[in-house]
Structures are given as structure tokens and as C-alpha cells.
A and B are shown apart, each in its own frame.
Chain A
Amino acid sequence: GENVEQHPSTLSVQEGDSAVIKCTYSDSASNYFPWYKQELGKRPQLIIDIRSNVGEKKDQRIAVTLNKTAKHFSLHITETQPEDSAVYFCAARGNNAGNMLTFGGGTRLMVKP
């Protein structure tokens, strides 16, 4: 089955700086890669996603890049703000009939004002 590794597990940045979170996956047939943001005690919220036919996608301060050859994808947050502080999860949908997502271990992002 699919295996997703996420790094770093914690990330502390100064407000205004950029943050990068990286994930690798094992199933070369994976074709969908969403990123979720989860604030303490709340539900995961989709912030951006990318499909395997695209190398990069951007939405305002958030961007995701995908390298299918190397089987890794990254989340980039620019001009970070304190409200970006949360746990971020990457996920990959492998070659399965159930459309199941496999999640990375999460990254706790702290943006210091």
C-alpha cells in the first residue's frame, strides 16, 4: 500500500518568512495529493491540492509542487502570519479502488510574531 513520509515534524518561523513542508510517497501510481490544515481541536481543512498531471499549483500565499519522478511533493507558504500556525498534513491517494488517502505524520507550524 501507499506510504507517506512528512518532514519536518515541527517548524518554527518568524512572521513574514516562508515555510516549506516536504512529503514523499511510495506508490508511483498515486495521482492526487491534497494538503490539509488542522487547528487545535478542529477538523482538517483542505487548503490546496494537486493532481499528478500538474507540476505546480498556487493559490495566493500557498503553493504546492510535485515531482513525480522523485515521488515527492512540497507545500510552500510565503509571508507567513500568526494565523498560519497549525498542524499541516499532506496526503496521497494511491492506486486503490476506494479513493483512500494516506496521510503523512503532520507538521506543527509555529509562526512567531
Chain B
Amino acid sequence: DIVLTQSPALAVSLEQRATISCKTSQNVDNFGISYMHWYQQKPGQQPKLLIYEGSILASGIPARFSGSGSGTDFTLTIDPVEADDIATYYCQQSKDYPLTFGSGTKLEIK
């Protein structure tokens, strides 16, 4: 199985930039597509798709969110951070079965 590694928590100040990383145990790129996706989950809610295929913003997601990276190293950036962004952020790979998620990064406000 492909293992995705995320830092457990990140504390940032409002209106600053948050950078959340996800490292994979194997390359998740194939034929120019990064099979890396990002989700936001608030307590008691279902996850919400933010970014798919590495860098494509999902429908209705503000441009404050962006995704980058390739191969085994990926980043979700939130700039600037707003109070409503307090949540846990998960990366997910779909290069290989089984589809797997990172353990999540909890975004906190300083």
C-alpha cells in the first residue's frame, strides 16, 4: 500500500500563509497527472474536496487554496488563512489500489 505522511498539526496566525505537506512512499504521478488530492474536514462533518490531481481547484473552493508538487512530495497552501479554515486537512492518493489517505494535519490558529 502507498503510505502518505502528514505532520499532525500546524499553527498559523490569521491572514498568514499555511503550508501543509504530504509525502508519499511511492511516486503517485503517471502520464503527466499527479494522483494526489486534498480534502478539508471540520468536526462532525464529512470531508470536502479542495484540490484534485495535484493542483486543480475543486468547484466552489476559494482561490486562497492551492496545491502543488509532484512525484512523492506535495503541498497544500492556504493564503491567507481565515478563521473558517480551522479544520483537519487530508491528502489522498489514487495512483494505486487500495486508495489511501494521510493521517491528517490539524490547522490551528496561533
Q: Do A and B come from one complex?
A: no
Question: Interface residues, chain B, CB within 8 Å of chain A?
Answer: none
Question: Interface residues, chain A, CB within 8 Å of chain B?
Answer: none
